[in-house]
Structure 1
Protein backbone atom coordinates (compact mmCIF):
# COMPACT_ATOMS: atom_id res chain seq x y z
CA UNK A 1 0.00 0.00 0.00
CA UNK A 2 1.39 3.40 -0.97
CA UNK A 3 1.10 5.92 1.84
CA UNK A 4 -0.03 9.42 0.97
CA UNK A 5 2.40 12.27 1.52
CA UNK A 6 1.77 14.43 4.56
CA UNK A 7 -0.54 17.38 3.96
CA UNK A 8 1.36 20.63 3.54
CA UNK A 9 0.06 23.69 5.39
CA UNK A 10 -0.42 26.95 3.49
CA UNK A 11 -1.66 30.37 4.58
CA UNK A 12 -1.60 29.97 8.35
CA UNK A 13 -0.81 33.54 9.39
CA UNK A 14 0.48 34.63 12.80
CA UNK A 15 -2.46 36.98 13.41
CA UNK A 16 -4.97 34.15 12.96
CA UNK A 17 -3.39 31.41 15.05
CA UNK A 18 -2.65 31.36 18.78
CA UNK A 19 1.00 32.01 19.58
CA UNK A 20 3.48 33.34 17.05
CA UNK A 21 5.64 30.39 16.11
CA UNK A 22 7.32 32.02 13.15
CA UNK A 23 4.27 32.02 10.91
CA UNK A 24 4.17 34.80 8.30
CA UNK A 25 2.29 38.02 9.08
CA UNK A 26 -0.61 39.21 6.94
CA UNK A 27 0.62 42.80 6.85
CA UNK A 28 4.02 41.66 5.55
CA UNK A 29 2.50 39.32 2.93
CA UNK A 30 -0.11 41.87 1.78
CA UNK A 31 0.22 42.80 -1.89
CA UNK A 32 2.66 39.99 -2.62
CA UNK A 33 0.52 38.45 -5.38
CA UNK A 34 -0.77 40.22 -8.47
CA UNK A 35 -4.54 40.53 -8.64
CA UNK A 36 -5.09 38.27 -11.65
CA UNK A 37 -3.13 35.46 -9.98
CA UNK A 38 -4.82 36.17 -6.65
CA UNK A 39 -8.27 35.75 -8.21
CA UNK A 40 -7.31 32.40 -9.78
CA UNK A 41 -5.72 31.15 -6.54
CA UNK A 42 -8.72 32.28 -4.45
CA UNK A 43 -11.08 30.43 -6.80
CA UNK A 44 -8.96 27.28 -6.39
CA UNK A 45 -8.95 27.63 -2.60
CA UNK A 46 -12.74 27.83 -2.57
CA UNK A 47 -12.96 24.39 -4.22
CA UNK A 48 -11.20 22.64 -1.31
CA UNK A 49 -12.94 19.80 0.50
CA UNK A 50 -13.85 20.26 4.15
CA UNK A 51 -11.69 18.41 6.66
CA UNK A 52 -12.43 20.16 9.98
CA UNK A 53 -15.47 22.39 10.54
CA UNK A 54 -15.11 25.12 13.15
CA UNK A 55 -18.20 27.02 14.24
CA UNK A 56 -16.67 30.42 14.61
CA UNK A 57 -15.67 33.54 12.78
CA UNK A 58 -12.42 35.20 11.86
CA UNK A 59 -12.17 38.92 12.44
CA UNK A 60 -9.99 40.40 9.70
CA UNK A 61 -7.02 41.83 11.62
CA UNK A 62 -6.43 44.35 8.80
CA UNK A 63 -10.10 45.43 8.71
CA UNK A 64 -11.68 44.69 12.09
CA UNK A 65 -15.15 45.52 10.77
CA UNK A 66 -15.12 42.36 8.65
CA UNK A 67 -15.92 38.87 9.96
CA UNK A 68 -15.51 35.66 7.94
CA UNK A 69 -17.96 32.95 9.00
CA UNK A 70 -16.34 29.55 9.50
CA UNK A 71 -12.94 31.10 8.82
CA UNK A 72 -10.91 28.78 11.06
CA UNK A 73 -12.33 25.63 9.40
CA UNK A 74 -9.79 23.52 7.51
CA UNK A 75 -10.09 22.45 3.87
CA UNK A 76 -7.74 20.55 1.60
CA UNK A 77 -7.09 19.40 -1.92
CA UNK A 78 -5.40 16.20 -0.74
CA UNK A 79 -1.93 17.74 -1.01
CA UNK A 80 -2.25 21.05 0.85
CA UNK A 81 -4.38 22.11 3.82
CA UNK A 82 -5.57 25.67 4.54
CA UNK A 83 -8.13 27.65 6.50
CA UNK A 84 -11.45 28.55 4.84
CA UNK A 85 -10.67 32.25 5.26
CA UNK A 86 -7.50 32.04 3.15
CA UNK A 87 -9.42 32.71 -0.08
CA UNK A 88 -10.72 35.95 1.46
CA UNK A 89 -7.21 37.15 2.36
CA UNK A 90 -5.83 36.18 -1.05
CA UNK A 91 -8.65 37.91 -2.90
CA UNK A 92 -8.87 41.05 -0.73
CA UNK A 93 -5.17 41.65 0.01
CA UNK A 94 -3.26 39.62 -2.58
CA UNK A 95 -1.27 37.97 0.22
CA UNK A 96 1.79 36.10 -0.95
CA UNK A 97 1.85 32.32 -0.61
CA UNK A 98 4.63 29.80 -1.28
CA UNK A 99 5.49 29.59 -4.99
CA UNK A 100 5.05 25.81 -5.09
CA UNK A 101 1.48 26.17 -3.81
CA UNK A 102 0.66 28.97 -6.27
CA UNK A 103 1.94 26.85 -9.18
CA UNK A 104 -0.10 23.90 -7.90
CA UNK A 105 -3.24 26.04 -7.63
CA UNK A 106 -2.77 27.56 -11.08
CA UNK A 107 -2.55 24.08 -12.59
CA UNK A 108 -6.08 23.72 -11.15
CA UNK A 109 -6.32 19.94 -11.29
CA UNK A 110 -9.39 18.07 -10.13
CA UNK A 111 -10.01 17.84 -6.39
CA UNK A 112 -10.02 14.35 -4.88
CA UNK A 113 -13.29 12.96 -3.52
CA UNK A 114 -14.44 14.46 -0.20
CA UNK A 115 -14.27 11.07 1.54
CA UNK A 116 -10.57 10.60 0.79
CA UNK A 117 -9.77 13.99 2.33
CA UNK A 118 -12.09 13.75 5.34
CA UNK A 119 -10.24 10.61 6.46
CA UNK A 120 -7.12 12.76 6.95
CA UNK A 121 -8.60 14.73 9.89
CA UNK A 122 -5.75 14.16 12.38
CA UNK A 123 -3.13 14.81 9.72
CA UNK A 124 -4.81 18.11 8.83
CA UNK A 125 -4.83 19.16 12.49
CA UNK A 126 -1.13 18.39 12.77
CA UNK A 127 -0.27 20.27 9.55
CA UNK A 128 -2.22 23.29 10.83
CA UNK A 129 -0.24 23.23 14.06
CA UNK A 130 -3.30 22.21 16.08
CA UNK A 131 -3.11 19.31 18.53
CA UNK A 132 -5.06 16.27 17.31
Structure 2
Protein backbone atom coordinates (compact mmCIF):
# COMPACT_ATOMS: atom_id res chain seq x y z
CA UNK A 1 0.00 0.00 0.00
CA UNK A 2 1.40 3.35 -1.00
CA UNK A 3 0.45 6.33 1.11
CA UNK A 4 0.31 10.01 0.21
CA UNK A 5 2.32 12.23 2.54
CA UNK A 6 0.80 14.03 5.48
CA UNK A 7 1.12 17.80 5.73
CA UNK A 8 3.44 19.22 8.37
CA UNK A 9 0.86 21.90 9.16
CA UNK A 10 -1.70 19.30 10.32
CA UNK A 11 -1.33 18.05 13.89
CA UNK A 12 -1.99 14.34 14.26
CA UNK A 13 -1.06 11.76 16.86
CA UNK A 14 0.36 9.52 14.10
CA UNK A 15 2.02 12.26 12.03
CA UNK A 16 5.54 10.95 12.62
CA UNK A 17 4.60 7.65 10.96
CA UNK A 18 3.95 9.38 7.63
CA UNK A 19 6.22 10.92 5.09
CA UNK A 20 5.54 14.62 5.55
CA UNK A 21 5.57 17.58 3.20
CA UNK A 22 4.75 21.23 3.66
CA UNK A 23 1.22 22.19 2.64
CA UNK A 24 2.31 25.79 2.09
CA UNK A 25 5.00 24.71 -0.38
CA UNK A 26 2.45 22.74 -2.44
CA UNK A 27 -0.09 25.57 -2.86
CA UNK A 28 -0.83 26.43 -6.48
CA UNK A 29 1.39 23.66 -7.85
CA UNK A 30 -1.49 21.77 -9.48
CA UNK A 31 -2.74 22.75 -12.93
CA UNK A 32 -6.14 24.39 -12.42
CA UNK A 33 -7.76 22.02 -14.93
CA UNK A 34 -6.87 19.07 -12.68
CA UNK A 35 -8.22 20.49 -9.40
CA UNK A 36 -11.78 19.26 -9.66
CA UNK A 37 -11.08 15.87 -11.30
CA UNK A 38 -8.41 15.06 -8.72
CA UNK A 39 -10.52 16.29 -5.79
CA UNK A 40 -13.47 14.19 -7.02
CA UNK A 41 -11.23 11.13 -7.32
CA UNK A 42 -9.91 11.61 -3.80
CA UNK A 43 -13.41 12.18 -2.38
CA UNK A 44 -15.05 9.44 -4.42
CA UNK A 45 -12.71 6.67 -3.31
CA UNK A 46 -13.41 4.35 -0.38
CA UNK A 47 -13.38 6.08 2.99
CA UNK A 48 -11.92 3.76 5.60
CA UNK A 49 -12.16 6.03 8.61
CA UNK A 50 -13.68 9.39 9.40
CA UNK A 51 -12.82 11.39 12.50
CA UNK A 52 -14.86 14.51 11.81
CA UNK A 53 -13.50 17.84 10.66
CA UNK A 54 -10.46 19.85 11.67
CA UNK A 55 -9.54 23.51 11.27
CA UNK A 56 -7.89 24.65 8.04
CA UNK A 57 -4.39 25.71 9.15
CA UNK A 58 -4.31 28.22 6.29
CA UNK A 59 -7.73 29.68 7.09
CA UNK A 60 -8.46 29.25 10.79
CA UNK A 61 -11.31 31.75 10.50
CA UNK A 62 -13.25 29.13 8.49
CA UNK A 63 -13.53 26.89 11.52
CA UNK A 64 -13.51 23.07 11.34
CA UNK A 65 -14.13 22.55 7.61
CA UNK A 66 -11.37 20.08 6.68
CA UNK A 67 -12.38 16.38 6.62
CA UNK A 68 -10.10 14.20 8.73
CA UNK A 69 -9.82 10.47 8.20
CA UNK A 70 -8.39 8.00 5.70
CA UNK A 71 -9.40 6.95 2.18
CA UNK A 72 -8.08 4.50 -0.40
CA UNK A 73 -8.49 3.27 -3.95
CA UNK A 74 -7.05 -0.12 -3.06
CA UNK A 75 -3.51 0.68 -4.22
CA UNK A 76 -2.92 4.07 -2.64
CA UNK A 77 -4.22 5.54 0.60
CA UNK A 78 -4.36 9.12 1.84
CA UNK A 79 -5.55 11.37 4.61
CA UNK A 80 -9.02 12.51 3.51
CA UNK A 81 -8.01 16.14 3.81
CA UNK A 82 -6.11 15.84 0.53
CA UNK A 83 -9.31 16.46 -1.48
CA UNK A 84 -10.05 19.67 0.43
CA UNK A 85 -6.57 21.10 -0.08
CA UNK A 86 -6.49 20.09 -3.76
CA UNK A 87 -9.79 21.86 -4.40
CA UNK A 88 -9.25 24.84 -2.12
CA UNK A 89 -5.57 25.64 -2.77
CA UNK A 90 -4.48 23.73 -5.87
CA UNK A 91 -2.16 21.49 -3.87
CA UNK A 92 -0.25 19.07 -6.06
CA UNK A 93 0.09 15.37 -5.29
CA UNK A 94 3.32 13.44 -5.99
CA UNK A 95 3.95 12.64 -9.65
CA UNK A 96 3.61 8.86 -9.25
CA UNK A 97 0.19 9.29 -7.64
CA UNK A 98 -0.89 11.68 -10.38
CA UNK A 99 0.13 9.13 -13.03
CA UNK A 100 -1.80 6.45 -11.16
CA UNK A 101 -4.97 8.58 -11.05
CA UNK A 102 -4.63 9.64 -14.69
CA UNK A 103 -4.24 5.98 -15.73
CA UNK A 104 -7.65 5.38 -14.13
CA UNK A 105 -9.18 8.30 -15.98
CA UNK A 106 -9.84 10.08 -12.66
CA UNK A 107 -12.54 7.46 -11.96
CA UNK A 108 -12.44 6.01 -8.42
CA UNK A 109 -12.59 2.26 -8.00
CA UNK A 110 -15.50 0.72 -6.12
CA UNK A 111 -13.97 -1.67 -3.62
CA UNK A 112 -15.65 -4.78 -2.30
CA UNK A 113 -15.83 -5.17 1.47
CA UNK A 114 -12.96 -7.64 1.25
CA UNK A 115 -10.82 -5.22 -0.79
CA UNK A 116 -11.57 -2.41 1.65
CA UNK A 117 -10.51 -4.64 4.56
CA UNK A 118 -7.32 -5.60 2.72
CA UNK A 119 -6.61 -1.91 2.14
CA UNK A 120 -7.20 -1.11 5.81
CA UNK A 121 -4.86 -3.94 6.77
CA UNK A 122 -2.28 -2.64 4.29
CA UNK A 123 -2.42 0.83 5.81
CA UNK A 124 -2.11 -0.61 9.30
CA UNK A 125 0.94 -2.62 8.24
CA UNK A 126 2.54 0.31 6.43
CA UNK A 127 2.13 2.61 9.43
CA UNK A 128 2.66 0.27 12.36
CA UNK A 129 4.63 -2.65 10.96
**Counterpart position of 2:36:** 39
Secondary structure of 1:33's match? coil
Paired residues of 2:31 and 2:90 also in contact (CA < 8 A): yes
Q: Deviations over 1:26-75 (max 9, x none)?
A: 11111110111122111111111021232x32211110123236x22101
Paired residues of 2:68 and 2:80 also in contact (CA < 8 A): yes
TM-score w.r.t. the length of structure 1 is: 0.78
TM-score w.r.t. the length of structure 2 is: 0.79
Equivalent residues, number: 122
- The yes-or-no answer on 1:10 pairing with 2:1 is no
Paired residues of 2:30 and 2:91 also in contact (CA < 8 A): yes
What are structure 1's unaligned runs of at least 5 residues? 1-6
Residues 22, 109 of structure 1: CA spacing in aligned structure 2 closer, same or farther, 3 A cutoff? closer
Bigger share in strand: 2
Paired residues of 1:48 and 1:75 also in contact (CA < 8 A): yes
What are structure 2's unaligned runs of at least 5 residues? none
User: Distance between the aligned counterparts of 1:26 and 1:96, measured in 2?
Assistant: 9
**Counterpart position of 1:82:** 78
Q: Which runs of 4+ in 1 moved over 4 A?
A: 19-22
Alignment partner for residue 61 of structure 1, among 57, 61, 72? 57
Bigger share in helix: 2
Shift of 1:86: 1.0
